[in-house]
Amino acid sequence: MCDLNLIVFPLKHENPFPVKIKTGEPEKIDEKTMILCTGIGSGGAENLGNVLSNYPEIEKVIEFGSAATISKGRVGSIYECTLFLSFEGSVLATSGRITKLPICAVTGTDELYEGTGFEWADKLDFPLVYTMETLTFRNIVTNFRK
């Protein structure tokens, strides 16, 4: 059994690879890498959980996808999320850096961001973005590693 990296993204148009995909079905792109279009929200989280359950050889999960900027983010920029925050601004988790991309913080829920709230966001030293998946995906991956 070889260790696999799983790259996930919620929507098909976020697929950074020249490979056709179906939502919820992992696709192996090389010996050590699979990609998965999860879908959004709770359904996407369930798809990720199923794939992690079915492929215990997955060692790392990397999420790739778009996000809404809440504060200080630049449209079209690519960030690495290293700080995971609640809606109130408290730290839920941190992660080490993998890339040399600029860093940002992330928050979100299963609902679309409507452009309001998060008055505390401007106090951060770096951008804050909002996604419907990142926090849930992180929880799923963390639980599967236990």
Label residues 113-123 b or e (16+ Cβ within 10 Å = b).
beeeebeebee
Helices (H), 4-126: 41-54
Contact 38, 112 (CB under 8 A): no
Range of the domain at 80: 68-130
Mean pLDDT of the chain: 89
CA dist 119 and 117 (Å) reads 6
> What are the backbone dihedrals phi and psi of residue 141, each rounded to the nearest 5 degrees, phi first?
-60, -45
Q: Mean pLDDT throughout 108-134?
A: 88
Residue 117 has a pLDDT of: 84
Q: Are residues 74 and 126 in the same domain?
A: yes
Lowest mean pLDDT: which of 4-8, 69-73, 102-106, 115-119?
115-119
> What are the backbone dihedrals phi and psi of residue 96, each rounded to the nearest 5 degrees, phi first?
-75, 160
The count of structural domains within the chain is 2
Note whether residue 146 is domain-resident. Answer: no
pTM of the model: 0.77
Does an H or E element contain 145, and which? helix 134-145
Note whether residue 49 is domain-resident. Answer: yes
Residue 132 has pLDDT above 70, yes or no: yes
Q: Mean pLDDT throughout 68-83?
A: 91
